[in-house]
Amino acid sequence: LEKKAETAIREAADLDQLKDLRVKYLGKKGELTTILRGMKDLSPEERPVVGGLANEIRTGLERWIGNKEEELKKAALTTRLEAEALDVTLPAAPPSLGAVHPISAVIEQIEDIFIGMGFEVAEGPEVESDYYNFEALNLPKEHPARDMQDSFYITPEILLRTHTSPVQVRTMEAKEGQVPVKIICPGKVYRRDDDDATHSHQFHQVEGLVIDRGIAMSELHGILAGFAEKMFGMKLETRLRPSYFPFTEPSVEMDISCIQCGGEGCRMCKNTGWIEILGAGMVHPRVLEGAGYDSERYTGFAFGMGPDRIALLKYGIDDIRHFYTNDVKFLRQFQSL
């Protein structure tokens, strides 16, 4: 029995087999236990002899099983360590870095240029009241010019702002008739426009407002032409075209010469050689008065530009929708901005 058990224990391949052997020999119904139980049938002289021998064997088997168990556990650990080994000298996979979105980058550039010209940055809410978005800007209810900006209404009096111009009124109110006012306001705006290569239903604007004594149209042109030159890094031709906004009088739109001009059939300027980048004008006296400014003493100009369109031009992108479809391959091209 001892020999048989010793061989079996030595050859046990894993811990499960070893457990089975322990049960087989030393368990309640095990072979050695059965011998010890049978001792009651032996003569009193034989008992101590057989008993001593059986106990000796039992101690021996327990020791072998214990040793084998250690050995198997060690082997199992070694195998696992080998399987899970890490080569710490391998070069790590490069972490994927995020980057500034091209529109955010353009807005930051616009802010830097205007801050350099002494402007402060103001903010206003995207969910706006009909009063600030339209009425205080000389656009009463039923005014036909409201159609220029198809809106997303939340309630009859609350809407998603269609432009950043409401911040003009909010800023003037906060300043309580004090001058100078010299702010820009970047932000998101929303319109029920049909999306195409140059229109999005959600886009961005940067509003500008300057109020002081003796502010004239020539200053507006000077500031905007200077801005265009800095933004595009070259001397550009600019032109002001007469336009109409109820909150400015006179009103203009500014075009820059098409820097992406592909000539015949150019998608950017539709062959005109000019691209509109903003609307502007002298603040309407009614808007000044409504916000607490004496329009006899003070004059001002305002403008509203579209950074999405500026980003299209600056980076030669042919469709505004690229900015909003989150194609990582597209966005990765601007990682260095």
Least CB distance to ligand FA5 at residue 196 (A) = 9
User: Using the rule CB under 6 A, which residue among 18, 105, 106, 280 binds ligand FA5?
Assistant: 280
Cβ count near 287 (within 10 Å): 24
State which residue has the least CB distance to ligand FA5.
306
Whether 205 contacts 163, CB under 8 Å: yes
Least CB distance to ligand FA5 at residue 132 (A) = 12
CB-nearer residue toward ligand FA5: 9 or 172: 172
User: Using the rule CB under 6 A, which residue among 199, 221, 230, 286 binds ligand FA5?
Assistant: 199
Sheet of strand 202-212: strand arrangement = 120-121, 181-190, 202-212, 299-305, 274-283, 248-257, 238-245
Interface with ligand FA5 by CB under 6 A: which range of 4-12, 20-28, 285-293, 301-309? Answer: 301-309
What's the gap between Cα 331 and its chain centre? 12
The partner residues of 176 in beta bridges, in order of sequence, read none
Binding of ligand FA5 by 277 (CB under 6 A): yes
Binding of ligand FA5 by 278 (CB under 6 A): yes
Least CB distance to ligand FA5 at residue 91 (A) = 44
Whether 209 contacts 283, CB under 8 Å: yes
Cα end-to-end distance, the chain, whole Å: 82
Binding of ligand FA5 by 276 (CB under 6 A): yes
Binding of ligand FA5 by 165 (CB under 6 A): yes
> Residues 30 to 49: which contact ligand FA5 by CB under 6 A?
none
User: Using the rule CB under 6 A, which residue among 138, 151, 200, 299 binds ligand FA5?
Assistant: 200
The reply to whether 249 sits in an annotated binding site is yes
CB-nearer residue toward ligand FA5: 61 or 165: 165
Least CB distance to ligand FA5 at residue 309 (A) = 4
Instruction: Tell me how many residues contact ligand FA5 (CB under 6 A).
Output: 24
**What is the rounded distance in angstroms from the CA atom of residue 43 to the CA atom of residue 39?**
8
Binding of ligand FA5 by 191 (CB under 6 A): yes
- Binding-site members are 249
